[in-house]
Amino acid sequence: MESLGLRGGLLVYPERVAPGEVLIQAGKITGLGKGVAKKAERVLFLDSLYVAPGFLDIQANGALGYDFLSASEKEISAILDFFVQHGTTGLLATLTSAPPEVLHAALRRLKSLAHPALLGVHLEGPFLAEARCGAHPREYLLPPSLEFVRALLSDFGEIVKIWTLAPELPGAEKVVEELKNRGVLVAFGHSEASYEEGLRALSLGPSLITHLFNGMRPFHHREPGLVAAALESPLFLSLICDGAHVHPATVRLVTKLAGFSRLILVTDAVAPTGFPDGEYPLFGQRVRVENGVPTLPGGILAGTTLTINRAVRNFAAFTGCALPEAVRCATLNPAQLLGIEERKGSLALGKDADLVVFDEEFTVHYTILGGRIVYQRD
């Protein structure tokens, strides 16, 4: 593998932005700072573009008309390649509530696929509250079941990284314990939990709240629900920053309460991502995309058409934060959640050379994955 040097860029560290150079050898970052790129066999001159760690998206359902639930291996690769073009160097393929045989088939395809951007799977459901299931088909929801969990994880435990469930459902406590014992990160979401139920559930030791505010009992000043319990906790909180799922003012308030070290930006992108406005099939239903926002009949939000670079751009615009703070929410924070921060999530010597190069509009010019340029803007 030839060595690669990046010159003339602005390096985005967790605490600052600074001019500098990057040297990449054997898929790792081996040099940072002034003059290191001269040791490389190939040098890219970046003309003041930003160089950041590659973006990590822990919740994406599909793109280009394909959904991870039903996509073939070739279609899964197409989805991943699409997101790579927008700066994603690590992604959890998210599977929504579906019949067990459909979930198992999707997991078999994902397990057999070797793609450098695929970090594993996020199971969102089927243990969700019916009142807060959103676009998940109600007929596929199930009560929490140890038998279901054990049957699935016996075959796919090594690729399932996160499992989202509603903690107030009967049987959820035993499922949470089982998932934690098997090394799966527990996330709470699509929940009707009250504030008191939320506090009890948080004592079980989950790791994440899935898309805060969306798919849960709304915050009310007399019944603040899981939202308030989560904000008072030390947990990571994922947020959808498309301007439709969470109002920009709410994003600002959450940021003031939680700080930048706990927030994780997700796309929650669905199959129509990458396509223009129109009507498309989704999870066995029809979804209408208008102004980039997918909705079911009746106005129910059905995921997004976001890419992660746009999510970071929106978060920076909504909060007015500095660039490193916005980038952290899609790099270091998800890496810490997944326990891979020693390899990914920041610019540091010895880490994987997974990088994204973008301009002031967050348009991606290069994506570098494992030290290789896997996307270059025309």
Summarize pLDDT for 266-320 with one digit per residue, the tens: 999 999 999 999 999 888 889 999 999 999 988 899 999 999 999 999 999 999 9
Q: Cβ-count burial of 349 within 10 angstroms (0-12 exposed, 13-18 middle, 19+ buried)?
A: exposed
Measured in residues, the chain has a length of 378
Domain 4-52+345-376 has CATH 2.60.320.10: no
Q: Cβ-count burial of 253 within 10 angstroms (0-12 exposed, 13-18 middle, 19+ buried)?
A: middle
Domain segments of the chain as ranges:
4-52+345-376, 55-338
Look up residue 216 and give its DSSP letter: B
* Cβ proximity of 293 and 85 under 8 Å: no
Residue 79: pLDDT band by 50, 70, 90 thresholds? very high
Give the C-alpha separation, 4 to 11, whole Å. Answer: 16
Query: In b/e form, how buried is each residue of 207-226, taking b as 16+ CB within 10 angstroms?
Result: bbbbbbbbbbbebeeeebbb
Computed over every residue of the chain, the mean pLDDT equals 97
Q: Which one of 268, 277, 359, 378 is the catalytic residue?
A: 268
40-66 pLDDT, tens digit each: 999 999 999 999 999 999 999 999 999
Rounded to a whole number, what is the distance in angstroms from the first to the last CA of the chain?
Answer: 24
CB atoms within 10 A of CB 154: 9
Cα-flanking dihedrals φ and ψ of residue 45, to 5°?
-100, 120
Give the C-alpha separation, 211 to 203, whole Å. Answer: 20
Q: Is the dihedral of CA 94, 58, 271, 377 positive or negative?
A: negative
For residue 134, give the H/E element and its range: none
The pLDDT of residue 285: 86
To the query of whether residue 277 is one of the catalytic residues in this protein, the response is no
146-182 pLDDT, tens digit each: 999 999 999 999 999 999 999 999 999 999 999 999 9
* Cβ proximity of 9 and 3 under 8 Å: no
Query: What is the CA 217 to chain-centroid distance, rounded?
Result: 22
Of residues 349, 346, 317, the one with CA closest to residue 330: 346
Domain 55-338 has CATH 3.40.50.1110: no
Give the C-alpha separation, 363 to 377, whole Å. Answer: 9
